[in-house]
Amino acid sequence: MDDIVVIGGGIIGAATAYFLSKAGRKVKVIEKDPSYKTASFPLSLGGFRRQFFQKENILLGKFAREFIFQIPEILKTKKNPNPTASVVPNGYLFLFGTEHAEEQYEALKNHKECKAETKNIKGSELKKIFPYLNDDGIETVTYTDNKMEGWIDPYLFHGALKNKAVELGAEFIKGEVKNISEVKANIIISAVGYLTNKLLKDIPVVPQKHTVFRVKCPKHIADMPLTSDFTSGVYWRPEGKEYLAGSPISSFDANDLEPDWNHFEELVWPALAKRVPIFEELKLTGGWAGYYDCNKLDNNAVVGKHPKYENLYMASGFTGRGLMQAPGIGRALTELITTGSYQSIDLKAFEIERVLENKKRPEPYVL
């Protein structure tokens, strides 16, 4: 009998294996596709932020930043003494119209309680700080500076977590778990991302396809933050000498990961050019699509011990924020398993019972 088996070796599985191994537990991770071709994490934008509504998400975002900045120290191994996740700490910038302003003022109270250090200015002041943006229809603006938010390379991040977990004794094996009853272990953790509902029929976490476009613009603004325009739902950030831009339209009934190319001309480009006039001159250079592990109940994570099983824990439903939440979730599951309760960030609000009882706890700031 194994001690702990983690099903799914993506970013949540790797982070959980790292924290549990560090706590001295013997962990086996079962991953169906070690190339991670259609897993969510390599297809993500790599963003980490603290600008959320729910306090748990704000606190997990703060821990993400703390953890990411310590990667060179805490994830170094004999094989790789200089791990990096290529951090670009450009910050996040949120633009709200009148329809979202009140909600954001409420969110800012939570930011203050959590010491998130978010800045808030009026839409009319936007151009003073971000002169390349058009302030039309913007009521209120929030952003961070001091390298509080930004993005990383998801693949490097995963590799560094996995390698450290392996050095600490974790084992990653190839295999697909079709049914929880196949796994013989003292503790089982489901970390199967958007496939959660396939393994656990009572959890409404399902694949939600999102398309990202790569574009080139003759004018490059290297220090541009990851910007989300909530008046259009379009978001973008620099990527090397190019930019990435996300479509505001997602789908639950996709059969494949072919990008929804028609969104670019119909929706994304007009919204980009309206907000960033230099983007009139964009050229589409590529794109891809990936699945969010979407919690259809309330767009919020589902984490904890499953009340219907003796020894099953799970973590999924991150709805666009699982990469940044992976360190906080790995640590939280480790605390729950080794001490019986959360010690650092209380994630009881994400418990599985809430989902089984249909109690919503929505996170509105999904990109």
Ligand X SMILES: Cc1cc2nc3c(=O)[nH]c(=O)nc-3n(C[C@H](O)[C@H](O)[C@H](O)COP(=O)(O)OP(=O)(O)OC[C@H]3O[C@@H](n4cnc5c(N)ncnc54)[C@H](O)[C@@H]3O)c2cc1C
Q: Give the footprint of ligand X on this chain (CB under 6 A).
A: 7-13, 30-33, 36, 39-41, 43-47, 176-177, 191-195, 199, 210, 212, 290-293, 316, 318, 320-324
- State the minimum distance, in angstroms, from the CB of residue 131 to ligand X: 26
The single-letter code of the amino acid at 34 is P
Q: DSSP readout, 96-108?
A: E-HHHHHHHHHHH
Residue 138 in contact with residue 95, Cβ under 8 Å? yes
Is the CB of 21 or the CB of 139 nearer to ligand X? 21
What angle do helix axes 154-167 and 322-339 make, rounded to 10 degrees? 20
Is the CB of 306 or the CB of 321 nearer to ligand X? 321
Is the CB of 225 or the CB of 290 nearer to ligand X? 290
- State the minimum distance, in angstroms, from the CB of residue 317 to ligand X: 9
SS3 308: coil
Length of the chain: 367
Signed CA dihedral, 27, 28, 32, 36: sign only? positive
Is the CB of 83 or the CB of 328 nearer to ligand X? 328
Alpha-carbon distances, residue 248 vs 73, 215, 254, 263, 267 (angstroms): 37, 16, 15, 9, 8
CB atoms within 10 A of CB 252: 12
What angle do helix axes 11-22 and 154-167 make, rounded to 10 degrees? 30
Is the CB of 8 or the CB of 225 nearer to ligand X? 8
Is the CB of 138 or the CB of 152 nearer to ligand X? 152
Signed CA dihedral, 83, 85, 89, 91: sign only? negative
Picking from 303, 319, 288, 312, the residue whose alpha carbon sits closest to that of residue 206 is: 319
- State the minimum distance, in angstroms, from the CB of residue 103 to ligand X: 21
- State the minimum distance, in angstroms, from the CB of residue 365 to ligand X: 12
Scan for tokens 């960030």, then name that residue: 345
- State the minimum distance, in angstroms, from the CB of residue 45 to ligand X: 4
Is the CB of 107 or the CB of 323 nearer to ligand X? 323
Picking from 113, 115, 137, the residue whose alpha carbon sits closest to that of residue 124 is: 137
- State the minimum distance, in angstroms, from the CB of residue 7 to ligand X: 5
- State the minimum distance, in angstroms, from the CB of residue 303 to ligand X: 11
How far apart CA 268 and CA 210 sit, in angstroms, is 13
Is the CB of 202 or the CB of 281 nearer to ligand X? 202
Nearest residue to ligand X on Cβ basis: 10
What angle do helix axes 55-69 and 322-339 make, rounded to 10 degrees? 100
- State the minimum distance, in angstroms, from the CB of residue 61 to ligand X: 9
